Amino acid sequence: MAKAFEQAVLDLLPRLRRFACGLAGSAADGDDLCQMTIERALVRRDQWQPGTRLDSWMYWIMRNIFIDEMRAARRRSETFVDEEAGLGVGSVGGQEARVELALVDRAMRQLPTDQREAVLLVMVEGYSYKEAAEIIGCPVGTLNSRLVRGRDALLGLLEDAS
């Protein structure tokens, strides 16, 4: 059955790519969207119910990924400077800025994974608590607790380093 599912997905590939390019507005972005869709479908193939339309399920996945990507792009544009401006962060600020960034990076690596995920998703990537909790797969209260503990631990590690 796994081979039949994979073959059915391959058979849909031209249609999926066409839909992805139409949604994304360019071939390159469409290809990325198509790849993410196929990856998610393969990972979650147990969620598809045989006897239902595979193409509809795949389009639903693609649409949700596209919406998520658009929201993330909007959040990044509202929260942070342009991507190109971020390439120079730490390199223009001189030695002191590089040392500070290295301290933050080292402190982040010392956090437990669950706290580091929460800090990165909310404080760096700009996701809402609800969105971050959905990404991690935990209740919002759990995410909030991880975020508070992670932030406090990060501040403590940075104070100890200075």
pLDDT of 131: 84
pTM: 0.49
Q: Count how many domains the chain has.
A: 2
CATH number for position 6: 1.10.1740.10
Phi and psi at 153, nearest 5°, equal -65, -40
98 and 43 part of one domain: no
150 and 130 part of one domain: yes
Range of the domain at 107: 91-161
70 and 96 part of one domain: no
CA 84, 111, 160 angle in degrees (round to 5)?
A: 95
Residue 84 falls within a domain, yes or no? no
Coil, strand or helix at 65: helix
CATH number for position 118: 1.10.10.10
Which residue, 51, 79, 107, sits at the end of a domain?
Answer: 79
89-146 pLDDT tens trace: 545 556 776 777 778 878 888 888 888 888 888 887 788 898 888 888 899 999 999 9
* N-term to C-term CA, the chain: 59
Mean pLDDT of the chain: 83
Share of the chain above pLDDT 70, in %: 86
Which residue, 26, 53, 79, sits at the end of a domain?
Answer: 79
Q: Return the amino acid letter for 95.
A: Q
144-160 pLDDT tens trace: 999 999 999 988 988 88
